[in-house]
Each structure stands twice: as structure tokens, then as C-alpha cells.
A and B are shown apart, each in its own frame.
Chain A
Amino acid sequence: MKEIYIKLPRELEYLKIACNLASQVAITIDKNEHFSNEIELAVSEAFTNAIKHADYTKEDDTLTLSFKIFNNKLVISLRDKGKGFNLDSISEPNFDKIPESGYGLYIIKKIMNKLSYVIDEDGYNVLVMEKSIPNQN
């Protein structure tokens, strides 16, 4: 397993860094542009949500983004010390009403194979996204 991680300030101006890293990590796994675009999109959604929706304390105002590359999957985690949320309570957007927001988690769920939200041993919230790695043959 290979791991790459970065700790960034919880500010939108660092979104591009998170996305660039996601894209580059994906390219090291598979040069297929569609794969790297999907990974970048998932990270962009997660990072943006973490900035916009979390209720942060002054204790730790950073986001830690990590990528774990296994033989058959990529596991992306986004860790923060915010208030947290209930992943199961987030409903799908009501497409009939063309909502302005609420698509972020929906997009992540469509792109990634698995999505979970846990609290780690240090009390940090961790959004964990898994994506199967395309066949390398």
C-alpha cells in the first residue's frame, strides 16, 4: 500500500491544490483521463463540502486529505475537526425542483464505489471514499 497525504488550511483558495493532487495521484494509477477526472471531482466535492458546511472550532482549522493506493482500490480520506454530520440523513436532491445545491454528496456516491463517514480515535471526522482501480491489463 502506498500513501500520500497533505494537510491544508480550510480555505477555498487551497481547493485547487487538493484537486491537482487528486488528479496526479489518479494518473499514477491509471492514465485514463476519465478516471483522473472522476477522482478530482470527488475530492473537489468533499473538500468544498468540508469548507462550506462544517462547523469548525478553533482547535484545528485544517483539512487532511490522504490517498491510499492498494492493488485493487484507491481509498481517499478527508479528515477534519468540525462538528460532523449524519451521512445517512443526507437525501438525494429533488431533481424535479432543480435545486441549486445538494448535489455534492450525490455526485460522490455516483462516482465512488463506497462512501462512509467515521470518527477516528482522535475525535476527527473522516469522510472515506473508495474507488476500484480499473483493470490494468
Chain B
Amino acid sequence: MILDIEKHTFGDVTLIKTKKRLDAEVSDIYKQKIKKLIDQGKLNIVLDMSETEFIDSSGLACMVSRILEIRSKGGDLRLSLAGAEVKNILELTNLNMIFKSYPNNEDAINSFINNAL
């Protein structure tokens, strides 16, 4: 499956926009994308979830897969614009305690800058 993933860079923060569905069909593609960023030393990642209407455990896996590695290297993966269904599954799996979530992209990107100050 070919999936065009929208990506933007703001200083040393990379913003990835997730699609309408985050499930087993696309999870591996996002995992590879995040892995590539880590390999490139881009450790400050924001997932813009404004368009994501559905996420299951496979979708969660693409967030979780490298979180420990990212954090051990001093970076983080944070969420922005998570809708009700995303928040619901994060709470269901206790992952809401793991991932910082922001109401908009600006706050999410700035959270990395504020941490660095």
C-alpha cells in the first residue's frame, strides 16, 4: 500500500499528520516513518491527529513502537489535536498517561522549545 504521509519541520521538531484511519493496514508505514526520523536524529516528533477519526491498537503501536528509544535519546513523541475517539482509546489503554497531548500544533511544537530553555 502506498501512503502519502504529510510531514513538516519546525526547527528541530518534525510534525507528521496522521490519516483518517490508523489501523493495521497503515501502522507499519507510520512505524517505518518514525524509525527513519530517529535514524536521522530527528527526535522531537509531533503527531497531528486532527484528521484521525479511527485508531485501534495497531495504530497505537506506531506511537508506542519507538517511544522508549526516542525518550532514551532525549527526544519525545507528542500528540496534537487528538479527537474524542483517539482520546478514548488512549484512556482505555492507559496510554494517556504516557503521551503528552496538546490542543493545537503550535502548543505541541512549542512544548519542545520550552523544554529546551
Q: Which residues of A contact B (CB under 8 A)?
A: 12-13, 15-16, 19, 34, 37, 40-41, 44-45, 48, 51-52, 93, 95, 98-101, 103-104, 106-107, 110-111
**Once the chains are docked, how many angstroms separate the CA of A45 from the CA of B58?**
8
Determine how close the nearest CB of chain A comes to the CB of B22; give it in whole angstroms: 10
**Once the chains are docked, how many angstroms separate the CA of A121 from the CA of B79?**
47
Q: Interface with A: B10-18, B41-49, B60-68, B108-116, which one? A: B60-68
How many A-B pairs have beta carbons closer than 8 Å: the answer is 60
Main secondary structure of the interface of A (DSSP, over half): helix
Known: A16-B25, A51-B24, A98-B64. 15 other contacts (CB 8 A): A13-B1, A13-B25, A15-B24, A15-B25, A19-B54, A44-B56, A45-B57, A48-B57, A52-B24, A93-B93, A100-B64, A101-B61, A104-B57, A107-B89, A110-B92
Contact (Cβ within 8 A) A48 B65: no
